Amino acid sequence: MESLIEKVLISEDEIHKRLDSMALEILTGFDGRPITVVAVLKGALVLVADLFRRLPVKLDIEFVTAQSYYGGTETTGEVKVIGGLPDVKGKSILLVDDILDTGLTMEALKSQLIDAGADSVATCVLLSKVKERAVDVEADYYGFEIGDEFVVGYGLDYTGHYRNLPYIGILKEFGV
């Protein structure tokens, strides 16, 4: 599997160091309020497991499944929430996804959580692609900015695979 990786963009060590400082930013932002983490499956699985263990406050965790990609590398523009939303009424939400690309997923989930009565929704991603978004949304907390390239690992997949790589890499077929 690793032989299909063109290069390691962000190492496991770099990710973990950045999560330490990102967790402190989040703790400062929430200022002692209990956090309801809402993680976007499947991509945020690895990030959220590493991140929420760095947040030593009253915290609960919920999951949502959003689909914007259908197995390829192109978004369809439509974001579907599968299986509904958790009860977020009156809660301070930290919405966690793996990556901010077009912004469609984050924007759709954020507005649905607000419509469902969340008190506040702060957004968090490991990676933010530096590009023009399809909608007006940015992450309140992000680990790294990257170029507009397709990456895998640390939860991010290509056709369902590579999520288990401990680092962020670029696949050979997308490499330059």
Residues near Mg ion (CB under 5 A): 43
Query: Least distance in Å: CB of 159 to Mg ion?
Result: 13
Q: Which among Mg ion, ligand IMP, none contacts residue 151 (Cβ within 5 to 8 A by kind)?
A: ligand IMP
Q: Does 75 engage in binding with ligand IMP (CB under 6 A)?
A: yes
Own/partner contacts of 46-50, CB < 8 Å, gap of 24 or more, are 46/98, 46/154, 46/155, 46/163, 47/96, 47/98, 47/125, 47/126, 47/154, 47/155, 48/96, 50/15, 50/16, 50/19
CB of 128 to ligand IMP, least distance (A): 9
Among 36, 102, 123, 128, binds ligand IMP (CB under 6 A): 102
Helix and strand numbers (H, E) in the chain are 3, 9
| Binding residues vs ligand IMP (CB under 6 A) | 40, 43, 68-69, 75, 97-106, 150-152, 156
Question: Which residues are identified as catalytic?
Answer: 101
